[in-house]
Amino acid sequence: QCQLTGLWRNEQDSLMEISAVRDNGDFQGKYLTRVTLAGGCARVSPVKGAQQQPGEGGWPTFAFTVRWDKFSNATTAFAGQCFVDAGGKETLTTMWLLREAVGSLEEDWKATR
């Protein structure tokens, strides 16, 4: 079974720590990004999310948000699934959308990556 609780590292060397997953699937933690929109030092940002409990024999899906408000006016939403390979290694696969604030409706086209 895949456990979201713990420390995770991605391909960009950013770290995410999930402190605990509650019985209802809610979780929170911290994200230390090595990739910033403005450049500069890595910063810690809050993570809030939920895990869908898998059916029998399945792997859990989850979604979480990271609010980058300490150094950027942006929010990222992640959705993914946790897998365990034959050797017992846990892997999270995710897709993400990052939304930056823009000054007008006319600039909306460039606000989401």
Sorted by where each starts, the structural domains of the chain and their CATH numbers stand as 6-110 (2.40.128.30)
Whole-number pLDDT of residue 56: 65
What's the whole-model pTM score?
0.84
Residue carrying structure tokens 């007008």: 104
pLDDT in tens, 31-69: 988 766 556 666 789 999 999 976 666 788 999 999 886
- CB of 62 closer than 8 Å to CB of 4: yes
